[in-house]
Structure 1
Amino acid sequence: MPSRRHDLLATLVPKIRRSRELDSEPAERARVEAWHRTLDRALPTRVTPGFAKRWDATVTDIGFPCHVLTPRTRRPVRTLYYVHGGAFMAPIDAFHVRYATRLADAIGARVVMPDYPLAPEHTWRDSHDALVDDVARWAGREGGVVLAGDSAGGGLALAVAQSVRDRGLTPASHLVMHAPWVDLTTSTPETHDVDAIDPWLFIGKLQAYAGWWAGTSQDLGRPEVSPALGELAGLPRALVLYGTRDLLFPGCRLLRQRAGEAGWDLTAIEEPDLIHVYGLLPFAPEARRAFAQVVEFLR
């Protein structure tokens, strides 16, 4: 049974984020594009305690900015390559930075966070190859790479892992996905049923954002866009965590099923009645449990 704190956050977070169904796709596109013109794309560190004292932050250019966070008080033994969520149309959030730095501290890693180009102005084609090359480059360094992400970023991390494999590049050692968006075709019929109980995500927005990211309807089913529909054999050992009060959970179940058929070493943790990316919620006991599960998986 979900904790009271989880249920409180399940009510508050959608209100704080002003979550609601879209009125129309053109109006939503115009709203998002106008919002993008106002964005400050600096790394948001305000909820990460002692960030300036504890982390040296630099930016590399891989065709778009990529933040590299190196701990000041310890020598990193590997790299956490964290791909942020946000439906492919929202930038890095302060809680992404908070989570990634906490996890990096726990596993002795530096953090690399790509600030990839956002939809609807951009599609997957504008960042995919650069991300694949960058992950492989970091994977070739001492200690290797843990590839991780949440929501859209979790799906993107999986798509990148598939392309790294297909191109014969150096793979990540592990893959961690929090409620990844892995089927942008919305081919699982249960998705429409879950729409009625998810307080945060909405099917109309999901379909609009999927179309923006794909660019064309023909690309929606490509593995670079919907990696759950791609070849899963030969991927890094992986962990996926998701709740069942989440519009993306039918896609996660599809991924789990296809992983079993492909013989891919994927550990799936399904939590009844928990909301989208519960593992990143602040102060929730379910998030603390998920964090411990991720750390144990990576040891």
Structure 2
Amino acid sequence: MSFRRMILSTLIRPNKLLYRIFRPSPKMIRLGVHPPAWLGSKILSPFTSKIERTNFGTIPGVTFNPKRNVKQNSLIVYLHGGGYCFGSSLTTHRIGISNLAKITGRICHSVEYRLAPEFQHPAALDDAVAAWKHIVNENSDSQIILAGDSAGGGLSLALTMYLRDNNERLPDGLILFSPWTNLNCNFETYNTRAKADPMFLPIMPREAAKNYVPESMDNSNPYISPVFGDFSGLPSTLIIVGDQEILLDDSRIVGENAAKHGVDVDVRVWPKIFHDWWLFGPLLPESKKCLLEVKEWINNLDVFYERK
């Protein structure tokens, strides 16, 4: 464990106590998180990516374009995390997606899907589907990788299942960073990692799930909790997760289910590290190491893609 990782983990941990005391609403979380995240991202984002607001048809988004060494005919569609209730490409995820674009050398199209509780399921999935179709239509000859973290990782998996079920073009590869895939929030690591996880109390994702899922719907619906879905026919998948996370089983069980259905899946559990560490960019040496692994994985996909 790097020294900076230990320091950052210590600085993050008090947020659990603050949440327990104040039980903030999604709007309060946005007010508390988005402004400082935006300010920090302006300072720490790499200047080697050109960042532009855009629209994918009717869906707003942000494009991160590396200024050099851009891989032609290969791009990434990104779905950010935030419990379906907060987060955005230009605040919480600007540093991470900028570095993802820079290190992989690929244009990243990040989708600004609608957030709960104002817009519950299936709003996020509907937006992701619409944005995906638009990007595919505009880049029909390109390799297109789908990636997402946390809630965005679960949404990426649900989107892929939806696309398969409706005979739409699938991603050429799927990258899931610490995906939240079970909105029942009851896997074993919710208990076994509760103390080790410096970022989340078990109640935090459970409250987010209540905000996202309408009372009339079952949390086990595969388009809500894709861990319970059919994995047959899904593309090659890379899953990256930290072993301190209460969401660890959300990744491991997805990997097990995917493998049972013949999916080429690679689950990488990083030791002694917390949720979504790679988003912290230059603050953590482990961030760059993680994204270099992602780059290598995509480049190996390139070999396969070019043979097809």
Band of TM-score, shorter chain = 0.7 to 0.9
Matches within 5 A, 1:27-176: 28=23, 31-34=25-28, 44=38, 46=42, 47-50=44-47, 54-55=49-50, 57-60=52-55, 62-71=57-66, 77=72, 78-92=74-88, 94=91, 96-140=93-137, 141=139, 142-176=141-175
Query: How much does 1:187 deviate?
Result: 3.3
- Distance between the aligned counterparts of 1:89 and 1:20, measured in 2? 20
- Distance between the aligned counterparts of 1:186 and 1:40, measured in 2? 25
Distance 1:258 1:100, change over 3 A: same
Return the letter of the residue paired with 1:280.
Answer: L
State the match for 1:267 in structure 2: 266
Distance 1:230 1:179, change over 3 A: same
State the match for 2:280 in structure 1: 281
Once the two structures are superposed, what CA deviation does each residue of 1:147-204 show, in whole Å capped at 9, x if it has no partner?
1111111111111111111111111111111111011112323322211221110111
State the match for 2:188 in structure 1: 189
- Distance between the aligned counterparts of 2:65 and 2:278, measured in 1? 24
Matches within 5 A, 1:195-274: 195-216=194-215, 218-274=217-273
Query: How much does 1:64 deviate?
Result: 4.2
Query: How much does 1:221 deviate?
Result: 0.7
Q: Is the 8 A contact 2:33 2:92 kept in 1?
A: no
Query: How much does 1:81 deviate?
Result: 1.0
Query: How much does 1:229 deviate?
Result: 0.9
RMSD of aligned Cα (Å):
2.7
Name the SS of the counterpart of 2:16 in structure 1: coil
Return the letter of the residue paired with 1:218.
Answer: M
Return the letter of the residue paired with 1:33.
Answer: K
Q: Percent identity?
A: 23
State the match for 2:10 in structure 1: 11
State the match for 2:290 in structure 1: 290
Q: Give the aligned length.
A: 290
- Distance between the aligned counterparts of 1:139 and 1:187, measured in 2? 36
TM-score (ref. length: structure 1): 0.86
- Distance between the aligned counterparts of 2:163 and 2:29, measured in 1? 33
Structure 1: 5+ residue runs without aligned partners? none
Return the letter of the residue paired with 1:107.
Answer: T
Query: How much does 1:109 deviate?
Result: 2.1
Query: How much does 1:61 deviate?
Result: 5.7
Once the two structures are superposed, what CA deviation does each residue of 1:232-291 show, in whole Å capped at 9, x if it has no partner?
111111100111110100111111111121111110001222111123333323222211
Q: Is the 8 A contact 2:34 2:87 kept in 1?
A: no
Distance 1:55 1:252, change over 3 A: same
- Distance between the aligned counterparts of 1:75 and 1:5, measured in 2? 31
Q: Is the 8 A contact 1:79 1:138 kept in 2?
A: no
Q: Is the 8 A contact 1:139 1:172 kept in 2?
A: no
Q: Is the 8 A contact 1:80 1:110 kept in 2?
A: yes
- Distance between the aligned counterparts of 1:65 and 1:195, measured in 2? 36
Name the SS of the counterpart of 1:207 in structure 2: helix
Name the SS of the counterpart of 2:129 in structure 1: helix
TM-score (ref. length: structure 2): 0.84
Which region of structure 1 is more displaced relative to structure 2, 176-185 or 71-80?
A: 71-80
Which region of structure 1 is more displaced relative to structure 2, 146-155 or 191-200?
A: 191-200
- Distance between the aligned counterparts of 1:227 and 1:135, measured in 2? 18
- Distance between the aligned counterparts of 1:37 and 1:74, measured in 2? 37
Distance 1:104 1:34, change over 3 A: closer
- Distance between the aligned counterparts of 2:294 and 2:59, measured in 1? 29
